Amino acid sequence: MSTNQAPLFSATAIAKNFGGVQALRGVDFDVVSGEIHALLGQNGAGKSTLVKILNGVHPAGSYTGTIQLDGQPVSFASPADARSNGVGYVPQEIEVLEQLSVAENVFAGRTGLGDGVLVHQRKLEQRAAEIFADLGIDIDPRAYVASLPSAQRHLVMIARAIVMKPRVLMLDEPTASLSGTEVDALFAVLRRLKAQGVAMIYITHRLPEVLAICDRATVLRDGQVAVRIAREDFDAETFIFSMSGQRLQRLFPEHAAPVGTPTALEVRRLSVAGHGGAVHGARDINLSVAAGEIVGLAGLLGSGRSEILHGIYGRVLSEGEIHVGGKEVSIKSPADARAAGIALLTEDRKRDGLLFNLPVGANITIGNLAPLSRRGVVRGGLERNAIVAAMRALNVKASSPRASV
Ligand X SMILES: Nc1ncnc2c1ncn2[C@@H]1O[C@H](COP(=O)(O)OP(=O)(O)OP(=O)(O)O)[C@@H](O)[C@H]1O
The DSSP bridge pattern shows strands 21-31 and 9-18 to be antiparallel
Q: Is 174 near ligand X (CB under 6 A)?
A: no
Site string for Mg ion, 318-347 (x = CB under 5 A): ------------------------------
Of the candidates 33, 35, 38, 47, which one interacts with ligand X according to CB under 6 A? 47
Q: Is 242 in the site for Mg ion (CB under 5 A)?
A: no
Tell me if 405 contacts ligand X by CB under 6 A: no
Nearer to ligand X, 53 or 124 (CB): 53
Instruction: Report what 397 binds from ligand X, Mg ion, none; CB cut-off 5-8 Å by kind.
Output: ligand X
CA-to-CA distance for 366 and 387, rounded, in angstroms?
11
Q: Confirm or reject binding of residue 41 to ligand X (CB under 6 A).
A: yes
- Residue 45 binding ligand X, by CB under 6 A: yes
Let me know: does 364 contact 391? Beta carbons within 8 Å: yes
Q: Does 48 bind Mg ion (CB under 5 A)?
A: yes
Smallest separation (angstroms) from ligand X to the CB of 57: 10
One-letter amino acid of 171: L
Residue nearest to Mg ion (CB): 48
354 binds, among ligand X, Mg ion, none (CB under 5 to 8 A by kind): none
Strand order in the sheet with 282-290: 282-290, 263-272, 318-324, 327-329
Residues forming a β-bridge with 69: 9, 72
Q: Which of 18, 144, 187, 241 binds ligand X (CB under 6 A)?
A: 18
- Given candidates 21, 129, 339, 344, which one binds ligand X under the rule CB under 6 A? 21
Range 69-98, binding ligand X (CB under 6 A): 92
Q: Which does 160 bind (CB under 5 to 8 A by kind): Mg ion, ligand X, none?
A: none
Tell me the window of 45-53, 60-68, 100-108, 209-217 that interacts with ligand X (CB under 6 A).
45-53
Q: Tell me the site size for ligand X, rule CB under 6 A.
A: 13
44 part of the interface to ligand X, by CB under 6 A = yes
By CB under 6 A, residue 48 contacts ligand X: yes
Q: Does 360 bind ligand X (CB under 6 A)?
A: no
Cα 104 to chain centroid, rounded: 22
Which residue's CB is nearer to ligand X, number 23 or number 90?
A: 23
Considering only residues 31, 35, 37, 49, which one is a binding residue for ligand X as defined by CB under 6 A? 49
Bridge partner residues of 288 (DSSP): 266
CA distance 262 to 258: 9
Question: Is residue 49 involved in binding Mg ion (CB under 5 A)?
Answer: no
Binding site for ligand X (CB under 6 A): 18, 21, 23, 41, 43-49, 92, 397
- Return residues touching Mg ion (CB under 5 A): 48, 92
